[in-house]
Structure 1
Amino acid sequence: MTTPSEPGHGGPDPGFGAVVSERRRLTNVAYRLLGSLADAEDVVQETYARWYVLSPREREAIESPGAWLTTVASRICLDLLRSARVRRERYVGEWIPEPLPDRAEWTGGRSDGDTADPADRVTLDESVNMAFLVVLESMTPAERVAFVLHDVFRYSFGEVAEIVGRTPAACRQLASSARRRIRASRAPATPVARQAEVVRDFKQAWEARDIAALIGLLDPDVTAIGDGGGLVSAELHPIRGGEQVARVLVDVTGGAPDLRIVERTVNGRPGLVAQLAGVTVTVMAFDMAGDRITRIWAVRNPAKLRPWTTG
């Protein structure tokens, strides 16, 4: 959408500004529902395409364009979630949600309204940290939609019911089930400042190839998961245990002496980015309990790294 004209009708659309202003909300909803910025972009474009195939009379009859757009986008996401399990079965290795950089770190640092990249429109809050998104992945499509729309975006259960095709009472139960999953997965929160210190210590130990120091920072039952999408060499299965994870990390740096490790914000939390020759090759997100790292997510799939700066 680059012009406030009605496709096929030749005249200006007086509601164009109000409709376009919904793009940020739609991108935020779609990213949380799908865990993929690329898919979220496609959903938003498809949503606007459906809006503009309506006749002027049909659009004028819609009392709340924003609500209409959100409903359409959410239904598209629901369809994608229902088909995602089939696609994930064909995915080589583990699937991790697409990581997002801090707003200022998006390629080029652009933030100029409609010309900005989509990641600039995603609000980085607790509902996009990697641990949260991974739990969302464990939910049924209906649970995920009901929970995200009601608990994150504050839509009523009546509105959610129209989207998922169930009763408000059923949607309330879906959201309640989703909340139980969230609660069961949560460890006591580590303050962000302390998380940053642990990640920095982890980086220094990794660079020094200090296995003992790494083990000291890792929970004995830590799990490391890599996502290469079948396109790059990566561990196809999770690695468990502090010593095992530490040794794999040291092997990585030993095989790539020019690897540069940089501290970055990943989905609103302290994380790390690994670069070779100035190109981002891995983005790492962490979950912690106290002063120990309990989970590491390492995204190496190039298709999921496009938002990241290279220097």
Structure 2
Amino acid sequence: MESEYGEYGEHAGAADPGTDAATEAFVTHRNLLFTVAYEMLGSAADAEDVLQETWLRWAGVDLGTVRDRRAYLVRITTRQALGRLRALGRRKESYVGSWLPEPLLTAPDVAEDVELADSVSMAMMLVLETLAPTERAVFVLREVFDLGYDEIAEAVDKTPAAVRQIAHRARAHVAARRPRGAVSPAETRGALDAFRRAVETGDLQGLLDLLAPDVVLMGDGGGIRQAVLRPVVGADKVGRLLAAGLGRIAAASLRPAQVNAHPALVVRLDGEVDTVLALRIDDGLITGLYAVRNPQKLSHMGRETALRR
């Protein structure tokens, strides 16, 4: 990581002590900035691009005028992410099939921060997708990173009073759509293990017993890999669809992994990641199945991504 941003320092003139200080501050907060961008965008690739843009702007800042380097960097990142989020929204309009967030292989310590883990779960990231860009930025900065209204106002170019209203509206919106109750990692692992056993043994009834009546299956192939183009709703329909694919899935390698700070299954074919399957659990039953198959979204499954608040 240091070499990555050391290279940035060279581009900006590493002989300048001010540049060294800028590089040090950027590297110190790099994981935090990535997390902010990822939570706003749902795309690791776009979050990395935002970090590049943030560095270019940060390298040109007179550090003598900066009181709080962390806050300043978060402000730059937020503004860059907001612009990209609006462009991403236009891209999603022409996306083939459902658009799901890009899954991340996360380190075990991310799950230990319960609030951060909840905020990056696949289910919660999909809830954030239903917010308008500014609402999403305000919600993420306030509820996840606990920034003050004044700081957020500077980042989103609104008054503190307006930010308070936006935050209130966003909280209500999220509360109505977020998972109904906290689910422990042990419960999720238990559901995953049972799901995996049912798939590997072809136990259709065992599979149906795990599904909530209103379960939703979403697939993201991006027009590159086969996937359901629209959400499939209902235990019977989802069960039949899964049953049709049991043979193919069972022939593959299913392994548990920590994805977006929660237990998930990684399906490999011939050693390559084919599908990342995340679950949403409510009241002990599977209410959401999210299958990411678009190969362009699986590049971060080869190494752990550090997320920080």
Q: Same fold (TM over 0.5)?
A: yes
1:24-69 alpha-carbon deviations (Å, 9 max, x no partner):
1111111111111111111111100112234xxx332223332221
Letter aligned with residue 70 of structure 1: V
> 172, 188, 193: which is aligned to 1:195?
188
Alignment match of 2:78 (pick from 74, 77, 92): 74
String of CA shifts for 1:174-215, please: whole Å, max 9, x gaps. 111111122112312232212211110011111122211111
Equivalent residue pairs, number: 290
Change over 3 Å in CA distance of 1:5–1:308 after alignment to 2 = closer
Match of 2:202 among 200, 206, 209: 209
Match of 1:221 in 2: 214
How does the TM-score come out when normalised to structure 2? 0.88
Amino acid at match of 2:84: L
Question: Alpha-carbon deviation of 1:20?
Answer: 2.1
Match of 1:87 among 78, 83, 91: 91
Q: 2:230 aligns with which of 237, 245, 250?
A: 237
Task: Please state how far the C-alpha of 1:229 moved relative to its aligned partner.
Answer: 0.9
For residues 11 and 60 of structure 1, the distance between their equivalents in structure 2, rounded to whole angstroms, comes to 14
Shift of 1:293: 0.3
Q: Which has the larger helix fraction?
A: 2
Contact 1:189/1:290, CA 8 A, preserved across alignment = no
Q: 1:25 aligns with which of 28, 32, 41?
A: 32
- What letter corresponds to residue 190 of structure 2 in structure 1? E
Provide the C-alpha distance between the structure 2 equivalents of 1:239 and 1:256, rounded to a whole number of angstroms.
18
Post-superposition offset of 1:256: 5.6
Matches within 5 A, 1:238-257: 238-255=231-248
Contact 2:264/2:277 (CA < 8 Å) preserved in 1? yes
**Worse-matched range after superposition: 177-186 or 254-263:** 254-263
Structure 1 pair 286–9 and aligned structure 2 pair: CA distance change class (3 A):
closer
Query: Once the 2 structures are TM-superposed, how far is the Cα of residue 14 of structure 1 from its aligned partner?
Result: 4.3
Task: Determine which of 7, 17, 34 is the counterpart of 2:12.
Answer: 7
Aligned to 1:107: none
User: How far apart in 1 are the matches of 2:116 and 2:170?
Assistant: 21
Question: What's the counterpart of residue 270 of structure 2?
Answer: 277
Cα pair 1:102 1:124 within 8 Å, conserved: no
Task: For residues 208-256 of structure 1, give each alpha carbon's deviation from its aligned partner in whole angstroms, at most 9, with x where no partner exists.
Answer: 2221111110001100000111111111111111121122122223246
Please give the alpha-carbon distance, in whole angstroms, between the structure 1 residues aligned to 2:273 and 2:158. Answer: 43
Aligned residue for 1:102?
106
C-alpha contact 1:218 1:292 (8 A) present in aligned 2: yes
- In structure 2, how many angstroms separate the alpha carbons of the residues matched to 1:14 and 1:226? 45
Aligned to 1:129: 121
Q: Distance in 2 between matches of 1:196 and 1:137?
A: 25
Q: 2:60 aligns with which of 31, 38, 53?
A: 53
Cα RMSD (Å): 2.1
- CA distance in structure 2 between the aligned counterparts of 1:285 and 1:257, rounded to whole angstroms: 17
Which residue of structure 2 aligns with residue 44 of structure 1?
A: 51
Which runs of 5 or more structure 1 residues have no equivalent in the other structure? 105-122
Aligned position for 2:306: none
Amino acid at match of 2:79: R
- TM (normalized to structure 1)? 0.87
Percentage of identical aligned residues: 39
Match in the other structure for 1:141: 133
**How far, CA to CA, are the matches of 1:199 and 1:9 in structure 2?**
49
Question: Residue 99 of structure 1 aligns to a residue in which SS?
Answer: coil
User: Is 1:157 matched up with 2:149?
Assistant: yes
2:170 aligns with one of 170, 174, 178: 178
Q: For 2:234, give the aligned amino acid.
A: G
Q: Give the CA deviation at 1:131.
A: 1.1
What's 1:118 paired with?
Answer: none
- Report deviation, 1:257: 5.6
* Residue 5 (structure 1) shift: 4.6
CA contact (8 A) 2:218 2:291 kept: yes
Cα distance between partner residues in 1 of 2:10 and 2:191: 52
Q: 1:231 to 1:157 in 2, by over 3 A?
A: same
Give runs of ≥4 in structure 1 deviating > 6 Å.
none
